[in-house]
């Protein structure tokens, strides 16, 4: 299995963290479980969560390879997802709830010829086989809401991979950058090596230069495991310059100086005025008091913004859950119930789409998607 990690402008947005990891077996026991692949992103992220995706991936990896010879690949992935949910629950107990409604994650395990996977959030997974391109996550049951909002990972799916199959994992944001024309995905599915992938990226350089995201491509070529990283970003030009070589300097001989006559005595310096330390102390206390008042107002304002963000995240999570359930009802041909849930979703999203809302972009994206379903 060959793996290609595509990173699109990873540093374009300060509040968006992207990550992809490929874990290979470290010993003969882990080799029985094959490889583990992870793709994730955290939006609306605070600086203190810069290592959040890495820590979550590490927890999932430990859960997957902990079983060794005791469990199958499928059972090991279920244990890994359980460990992932446990990590997220502990983060919430510690007061870190910024990931709610902002986390997208995909976990895949591959051991010839079986592929098992779980996706959540805005991650999409496609299978390219011959001239066909299938959306494996279209009817994925893990999208169904769970009573516990902290249980991020739900069900998983799996199947056999044939030779020359390709698995493409990416975020919906990348697909939306091309509108209704999805030629980019088809061209990527046709590429069979790094050179062809770079040619596709060159063709679509303009739309890709305006987004941030990552994409993982797995190719079942029957070759040895290999991993190649392709980063796409607007780079600054490199400048170089050289200085002319300077001639060597020789130390000149200085002539002997004549003896100087004695210098006259220096005049006495005037006395400095006395400093009134009482006045200085009062001014310092006044400045310190002003700084403390400003800090107090700042922390009060920050607390209100954090509460506002938490409320918005909970509302967006509820809206996504209703929309996912409505999608499932459409599959079951229960159109009236699905329509009711879609309308409830729009009511929840209405206040989140106003200017100034911290999650306005995500709410507008979901609102447009729901309105398309109601047409």
Range of lowest pLDDT (114-123, 187-196, 208-217, 247-256): 247-256
pLDDT band at 68 (very low <50, low <70, confident <90, very high): low
Range of lowest pLDDT (123-137, 222-236, 287-301): 222-236
As to burial, measured by CB atoms within 10 angstroms (0-12 exposed, 13-18 middle, 19+ buried), residue 355 is: exposed
The DSSP bridge partners found for residue 213 are 8
Q: For the chain, give the percent of residues with pLDDT over 90.
A: 20
Count helices and strands (H / E) in the chain: 10, 11
pLDDT value at 365 more than 90: no
Spell out the residues 6+ positions from residue 284 whose beta carbon is closer than 8 angstroms to its own: none
Alpha-carbon distance of 360 to 235, in angstroms, equals: 30
Spell out the residues 6+ positions from residue 345 whose beta carbon is closer than 8 angstroms to its own: 319, 322, 323, 326, 366, 370
Alpha-carbon distance of 143 to 119, in angstroms, equals: 8
Range of lowest pLDDT (11-20, 33-42, 298-307, 348-357): 298-307
Q: What is the pLDDT of residues 204-232, one digit of tens each?
A: 888 888 888 889 999 987 654 545 555 55
* DSSP character at residue 273: P
Per-residue confidence (pLDDT) for residue 181, from 0 to 100: 54
Per-residue confidence (pLDDT) for residue 52, from 0 to 100: 94
pLDDT band at 163 (very low <50, low <70, confident <90, very high): confident
Mean pLDDT, the chain, rounded, equals: 78
* Residue in this structure with the two tokens 């709610």, named with its chain if needed: 100
Tokens found for residue 52 = 């959040």
What pTM value is reported for the model?
Answer: 0.59
The radius of gyration of the chain from alpha carbons, rounded to an integer in Å, stands at: 30
Alpha-carbon distance of 319 to 328, in angstroms, equals: 14
Cα-Cα-Cα-Cα dihedral sign, residues 145, 146, 151, 156: negative
Please choose, from the candidates 188, 200, 169, the residue with its C-alpha nearest in 3D space to the C-alpha of residue 104: 169
pLDDT band at 237 (very low <50, low <70, confident <90, very high): very low
Q: What is the pLDDT of residues 178-194, one digit of tens each?
A: 765 568 888 888 888 88
Q: What is the pLDDT of residues 339-360, one digit of tens each?
A: 888 888 899 888 888 887 777 8
CA 264 to chain centre: 75
Spell out the residues 6+ positions from residue 95 whose beta carbon is closer than 8 angstroms to its own: none
Q: For residue 374, give Cα distances in angstroms to 62, 121, 122, 180.
A: 43, 22, 21, 18
Per-residue b or e along 179-212, where b marks 16 or more CB atoms closer than 10 Å to that residue's CB: eeeeebbebbbebeeeeebeebbeebeeebeebb
- Domains, in order of start, for the chain: 2-232 (3.60.40.10), 285-374 (1.20.58)
Average pLDDT of 23-46?
90
* DSSP character at residue 234: -
pLDDT band at 338 (very low <50, low <70, confident <90, very high): confident
């Amino acid at each position: 299995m060959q793996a290609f990690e595509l990173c699109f402008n990873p540093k374009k947005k300060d509040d968006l963290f992207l990550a992809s990891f490929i874990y290979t077996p470290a010993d003969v026991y882990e080799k029985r479980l094959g490889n583990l692949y992870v793709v994730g992103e955290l939006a609306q992220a605070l600086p203190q969560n810069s290592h959040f995706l890495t820590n979550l991936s590490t927890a999932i990896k430990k859960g997957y390879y902990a079983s060794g010879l005791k469990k199958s690949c499928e059972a090991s992935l279920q244990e890994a997802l359980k460990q992932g949910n446990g990590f997220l629950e502990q983060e919430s107990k510690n007061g870190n709830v910024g990931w709610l409604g902002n986390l997208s994650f995909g976990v895949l395990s591959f051991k010839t010829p079986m592929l098992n996977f779980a996706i959540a959030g805005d991650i999409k997974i496609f299978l390219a086989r011959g001239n066909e391109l299938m959306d494996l996550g279209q009817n994925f049951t893990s999208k169904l809401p769970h009573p516990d909002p902290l249980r991020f990972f739900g069900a998983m799916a799996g199947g056999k991979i044939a030779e020359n199959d390709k698995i493409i994992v990416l975020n919906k944001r990348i697909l939306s950058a091309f509108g209704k024309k999805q030629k980019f995905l088809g061209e990527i599915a046709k590429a069979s090596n790094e050179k062809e992938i770079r040619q596709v990226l060159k063709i679509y350089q303009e739309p890709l230069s305006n987004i941030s995201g990552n994409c993982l491509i797995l190719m079942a070529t029957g070759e040895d495991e290999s991993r190649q990283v392709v980063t796409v970003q607007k780079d600054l030009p490199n400048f170089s310059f050289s200085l002319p070589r300077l001639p060597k300097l020789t130390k000149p001989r200085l002539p002997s100086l004549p003896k100087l006559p004695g210098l006259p005595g220096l005049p006495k310096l005037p006395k400095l005025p006395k400093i009134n330390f009482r006045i200085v102390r009062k001014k310092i206390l006044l400045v310190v008091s002003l700084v403390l008042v400003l800090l107090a107002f700042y922390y009060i304002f920050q607390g209100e913004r954090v509460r506002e963000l938490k409320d918005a995240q909970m509302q967006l999570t509820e809206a996504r859950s209703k929309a996912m359930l409505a999608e499932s009802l459409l599959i079951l041909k229960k159109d009236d119930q699905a329509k009711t849930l879609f309308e409830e979703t729009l009511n929840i999203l209405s206040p989140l789409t106003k200017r100034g809302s911290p999650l306005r972009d995500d709410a507008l994206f979901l609102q447009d998607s729901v309105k398309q379903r109601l047409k």
